[in-house]
Amino acid sequence: MRVVHTRAEVREWSRSQRISRRSIGLVPTMGSLHEGHISLVGLAREAADATILSIFVNPLQFAPSEDFDRYPRDLEADLEKSSAAGVDLVFAPSVAEMYPQGRPWAVIVPERGADVLCGRTRPGHFSGVLTVVSKLLSIATPDIAVFGLKDYQQLTLIRRMVVDLDHAVEIVPAPIVREPDGLALSSRNRYLSESDRRLAGRLSGALRECEYLFQEGERSASAFRDGMAAIDGEGVSLEYAEVVHPDTLEPLDEVERGTVCALAARVGSTRLIDNHALGNLFNRG
């Protein structure tokens, strides 16, 4: 496995893969790798001949009050996991390397889909996400790029950006990877205390109940929203519980197969998100 820190090195590597007629799979991450990230690498390796994993904590997607400085970083451990997973190239740039002119003048601002769900309380977040993803796609020129379904709103916006801006890449969604009790894997889970960790299971529990309701024939979106909202209180502070269209993220009155139930909550001081598309087997871990 090769490790590089500059855009020029990535472009040189990508050109060499093209000369050798090898397809490229990209896995963008912010590091602090866990089994969820490793599953993305597995999908990239299945779909492409060579895999690049980026490790970059992007300041553009953090508000001043958010945890940019606190976000977990452990490059040495990440490199070990990347090597074991079969990554061919790791791109681990500095902030100055990604934004050599300082905060960019030109950014991608989504016209739709960013003012709902997480976007309500994180203004500017998805502009930062789309800007850095667009840069990574331009630098690495991959054939495919893999993103997890856990960040459903992010995945939806990236898919639209790729279509709307004619990026020549296929976006591959990866299933949510969960702990045995159902908690979705996240780099932020390490912030949870032992007691918070037990409370965090309420999020996935609420989504399991949504799938049960759907299988029992319930179709009123309000029933699903009310069921998810019941986790609020006693150490869990609900931010939102929404039932949305899988492509447009618009709220729905009635559900059908594929409708997405999504929620966000703070458990202690840690913000967690999760979602489930109705009509699919709920993965407990």
Instruction: Point out the domain boundary residue: 132, 152, 174.
Output: 174
Looking at the fold, whether 135 and 202 belong to one and the same domain comes out as: no
pLDDT digits (tens, 9 = 90+) for 178-195: 999 999 999 999 999 999
CATH of the domain at 133: 3.40.50.620
Looking at the fold, whether 12 and 113 belong to one and the same domain comes out as: yes
- How many other CB atoms are there within 10 angstroms of residue 100's CB atom? 10
Looking at the fold, whether 196 and 170 belong to one and the same domain comes out as: no
Instruction: Point out the domain boundary residue: 144, 174, 204.
Output: 174
Please tell me the pTM assigned to this model: 0.95
Looking at the fold, whether 211 and 272 belong to one and the same domain comes out as: yes
What integer pLDDT is reported at residue 165 of this predicted model?
97
Looking at the fold, whether 255 and 127 belong to one and the same domain comes out as: no
283 lies in some domain: no
Query: Residue 72: pLDDT band by 50, 70, 90 thresholds?
Result: confident
Quickly list DSSP for 110-167: -SSSSSSGGGGTSTTHHHHHHHHHHHHHHHH--SEEEEETTSHHHHHHHHHHHHHTT-
Looking at the fold, whether 102 and 28 belong to one and the same domain comes out as: yes
Looking at the fold, whether 148 and 33 belong to one and the same domain comes out as: yes
201 lies in some domain: yes
Looking at the fold, whether 258 and 202 belong to one and the same domain comes out as: yes
Instruction: Point out the domain boundary residue: 141, 174, 207.
Output: 174
Total of domains in the chain? 2
Give the max Cα distance, the chain: 58
246 lies in some domain: yes
Q: Which domain holds residue 241?
A: 187-277
What integer pLDDT is reported at residue 266 of this predicted model?
96
200 lies in some domain: yes
pLDDT digits (tens, 9 = 90+) for 2-35: 999 999 999 999 999 999 999 999 999 999 999 9
Query: Residue 284: pLDDT band by 50, 70, 90 thresholds?
Result: low
76 lies in some domain: yes
Averaged pLDDT, 72-86: 96
Looking at the fold, whether 166 and 31 belong to one and the same domain comes out as: yes
Please check the confidence at residue 86 and state whether its pLDDT lies above 90: yes
Looking at the fold, whether 98 and 64 belong to one and the same domain comes out as: yes
pLDDT digits (tens, 9 = 90+) for 105-147: 999 999 999 999 999 999 999 999 999 999 999 999 999 999 9
Looking at the fold, whether 72 and 191 belong to one and the same domain comes out as: no
Looking at the fold, whether 251 and 150 belong to one and the same domain comes out as: no
What integer pLDDT is reported at residue 285 of this predicted model?
56
179 lies in some domain: no
284 lies in some domain: no
- How many other CB atoms are there within 10 angstroms of residue 225's CB atom? 19
199 lies in some domain: yes
Alpha-carbon span 72 to 80, nearest angstrom: 16
pLDDT digits (tens, 9 = 90+) for 253-272: 999 999 999 999 999 999 99
CATH of the domain at 261: 3.30.1300.10
Structural contact between residues 22 and 8, judged by C-beta atoms closer than 8 angstroms: no
Of all residues in the chain, the percent with pLDDT exceeding 70 is 99
**Which residues form the catalytic set?**
37
